[in-house]
Amino acid sequence: MSATTQLPATPPSGRAPAATTAPAPAPAPRRRRAALRSERPGVRLAAWVTVVVCGGFGLLPVYWLLATALTPRDQVFAYPPRLFPAAPTLDAFAALASNEQLFVYLRNSVVVSVITAVLSVLVSAYMGYSFSKFRYRGRRSLMYLVLASQMFPQALLLVTLYSVFSAYGLLNTYTALVLSFTTFTLPLCVWMLKGFFDTIPDELVEAARVDGASRLRIIHSIVLPLAAPGLIAAGLFAFVRGWNDFIFALTLAGPDKQTLPPGLVNTFIGEASTAWPELMAASLVVSLPVAIAFIALQKYLVGGLTAGAVKG
Amino acid sequence: MTTPIPHTALTRRHLFQLLGLGAGTAALAACAPSAGGSAGTAATGGGAKTDFAFSSWSLTEETAAPAIQSLLGAYGDDNGVSIEEVSYPYNEYISQLTLQVQGGQFTGAAHVDVAWLGSLAALGKLQDLGPLAEGVDYTEAGLTAAQFDGVQYGLPWNIGAIGLVTNSAMLAKAGVDEFPVTIDDFTTALTKIKKLGDGVIPYAASTKAAQLKDILIWMETFGSPLLDGSTVTIGDDASVEAVTWYKELYDKGLIAPDVDRFDARSLFAQGRTPIYDDAIVGRDAVVTESPDKDLAGKLAAQSRPVLAAGDTPRALVWGGAIAVVDGEGAETAADFARWVTSDPDAAREYFEERGLPPATESALALPEVAADEFGAQFSERITATATSNPFWAYPQYAQIESAIAEQVQAVLVGSKDAKSAMAHAGETAQGLID
């Protein structure tokens, strides 16, 4: 039976039936199911094909990562390519576990990314709040200046930062990495949080003021808790930026403070050959923390990124 | 303070202002002074031994690192010094080393590709190692490869060439019993190989833009000098003929699209091509990655075919040298550079671990080195007639090679004819040199 037959029939007069006789509206899930059933098979098939293709597009590289990690090195480029490894092996993962240097890279990545995230959120929260809720001379100019810093080519900034850090003796330190990563994350974090703070009614701030709350109390006890999703989104963005960076970590960190991306390239990509299974296994393992963080916090991330997007 | 604030929106005016700011900054950056080049101080390698740094891309490679670290350990123990290891991935190495040297962060000994010497020498911080090379039996080819502008900026460590590496069993299967000497015969042989079918690529020549600089050696084979004094000759008849021939191979499926050195090695290792271009350093990679456990025995090095019988086969010099960056520890680093490149025991140990050709006559005469059949073939058939890329004399050589490669690729994909593309490539290269 098609869903349309379940709808109340329109009386011959063309007028809507009286409220007293109209059936209660179906709950939302039932309406959605009914709408799906109403689609023609061709449309549903097309929808499913689209979902599968898009899903495959996103997941196939991840599968290929795993398959290569499980493939012996002499079969990685076997022709024709195999969808499933013919002789799967965990050798690549075992090699990772026995490579102590990788744990040093991992520790460095965690330290640098976490500090970058905290520092970015801390600074951008105050900056974003200031841009959103205060009016002062030069506010707009400052906002655009922050945005303009995103327009510089990173390579240009790398040389500049290298010179500055070198002059201050900061090369080969965590400080150099954290400061450089924060430099790049701040503009987006500030604008993201400004958008979030814009959605918090000024009346709420005014009411707290009337109740005698100080400016800092208002920020810390009222505004920041309300902006928690935005703060999490900004922190996650900054964390991922620090976790994934290659060229700054390679240039500024030195051998002792090197993070995972340059560390993996240094370890597995050589002049003449690449240890693909080990590289894929390592990539898979190191992407897990970021993937888990995304899954756990994705609702905040989406909320934070779109905050203020439709505010008039 | 709580008065609602009108929302700020990016207007076209704002965007223009920001673009202007960005352009201004870029212009300022472009006007920044470039590094001046001058010969550094002459090395003596003498004085009291001090700690120093040694930089090499191989220090973190799992196959190469143990051999180098063993040598560092031996020198350090013998001389009571500590050697700091510095390493960057091969593809990032020269840019990182340049930054470190220019910023004064790195002094000491640096393992360099001979192609990079010009760029590093332009920084004006490399020592002249000429005095240290005196009295050591370095090969003439090695010494020349490690020079720039007549100055011995490096001591040769492993000097070889890039030439044709073949799978003799596959060639025999295709009926190519004698490797062709001339280009016409080579083309005929490739056609025979194609008849093997099963997706075999007769010649895994480089066709990706990043590696299309390989075409330069074919241009020289066809008779183009590439550079006459400081005049770029690309665009002459020989270079156009070379690219026309390459395009013909491409159109006939005798070479394949989208191949670089890494792809070529993989194709060779998997038995999907019997011919590709490589240096001897690629041997380990193809043998390790191949499911054919007998591949090492099937490898053969071949002279590049020539335009007419009797011509000298062309090959491109490839190799590593040790340069010394002036500063703290430089004298001991220079002594290390001479020791590691010329000491017979060090040469033997390094050869046994890595199979790379040493650069002194005495080391080449070592029984272990002489017993390496493939290595001997490589030296005799390829390295013997190898020459440097004339563009390496210019620090901007990578840009020149990219400009040429871009035009060759335009020919391969059919968007330009060979004559106009090579004329354009020559003009661009000349512009970069001038």
pLDDT score for B62? 79
Residues B136, B73 share a domain: yes
Number of domains making up chain B? 2
Do B99 and B248 lie in one domain? The reply is no
The 10 Å Cβ neighbour count of residue A27 is 9
Burial label for A111, CB within 10 Å (0-12, 13-18, 19+), is: middle
Q: Looking at the domain assignment, is residue B246 inside a domain?
A: yes
- Chain-chain contact of B291 with A75 (C-beta, under 8 angstroms): yes
Tokens coding B88: 């960057």
Amino acid at residue number A43: V
Question: What tens digit of pLDDT does each residue of A59-111 get?
Answer: 999 999 999 999 998 888 887 888 898 889 999 999 988 888 899 999 999 99
Inside any domain, residue B68: yes
> Do residue A151 and residue B22 have CB atoms under 8 angstroms apart?
yes
Could A143 and B291 be called an inter-chain contact, meaning their C-beta atoms sit closer than 8 Å?
A: no
Query: Domain with B136 in it: what CATH number?
Result: 3.40.190.10
Per the domain annotation, does B406 fall within a domain?
yes
B415 and B282 co-located in one domain: yes
Helix residue spans in A211-259 (DSSP H):
215-217, 224-226, 228-244, 247-252
Element (H, E) at B150: none
For residue B120, what are the domain limits? 52-160+318-381
Interatomic CA distance for residues B121 and B106, integer angstroms: 14
B105 contacts A166? CB cut-off 8 A: yes
> In chain A, which among 36-95 make CB contacts under 8 A with chain B?
73-79
Whether the pLDDT of residue A36 is over 80: the answer is no
For A182-215, the pLDDT digits (tens) are: 988 999 999 999 998 998 898 998 999 999 999 8
State the nearest Cα–Cα gap between B96 and chain A, in angstroms.
7
- Nearest-CB residue to B3 (from A135, A262, A273): A135
Same domain, B259 and B199: yes
Q: Which of the 8 DSSP states describes residue B182?
A: B
Query: Residue B30's pLDDT is what?
Result: 42
Structure ipTM: 0.75
Residue B183 has pLDDT above 60, yes or no: yes
Residue of A nearest to B14 (CA): A144
Q: Give B4 or B332, the one with higher predicted confidence.
A: B332
Contact between B320 and B158 (Cβ < 8 Å): yes
Chain A interface, mutation test: which of B14, B16, B289, most A Cβ atoms within 10 Å?
A: B289
Residues B191, B311: one domain?
A: yes
Min Cα separation B157/chain A (Å) = 16
Instruction: Identify whether B130 is part of a domain.
Output: yes
- Write the pLDDT tens digit of every residue in B349-394: 999 998 899 999 999 999 999 999 999 999 999 999 999 999 998 8
Per-window interface: A 256-285 vs B, CB < 8 A: 262, 265-275
Say whether both B120 and B79 belong to one domain: yes
Please indicate, yes or no, whether residues B72 and B170 belong to a single structural domain of this protein: no
User: Domains in chain A and their CATH numbers?
Assistant: 95-306 (1.10.3720.10)
Are residues B292 and B223 part of one domain?
Answer: yes
Residue A250 contacts B where some CB pair is shorter than 8 Å: yes
Torsion region of B300: left, alpha or beta (phi above 0 gives left; psi -120 to 50 gives alpha): beta
- Looking at the domain assignment, is residue B43 inside a domain? no
Mark yes or no for CB contact B85/A255 under 8 Å. Answer: yes
B80 and B103 share one domain: yes
Does some domain include residue B30?
A: no
Last residue of a domain, one of B360, B381, B402: B381
Is residue B4 a part of any domain in this protein?
no
B121 and B252 both lie in a single domain: no
Q: Tell me whether residues B3 and A311 touch, CB distance under 8 A.
A: no
Same domain (yes/no): B151, B182: no
Is the CB of B102 inside 8 Å of chain A's CB atoms? no
Is there a domain that residue B47 lies in?
no
- Residue A148 burial (CB count, 10 A): 18
Quote the minimal CA–CA distance from A254 to chain B in Å.
Answer: 8
| B90 neighbourhood in chain A, CB within 8 Å | 269-271
Q: Do residues B65 and B117 both lie within one domain?
A: yes
Which pairing describes strands B154-167 and B52-55: parallel, antiparallel, or unpaired?
unpaired
Mutate which of A202, A266, A274 to disrupt the B interface (most B C-beta within 10 Å)? A266
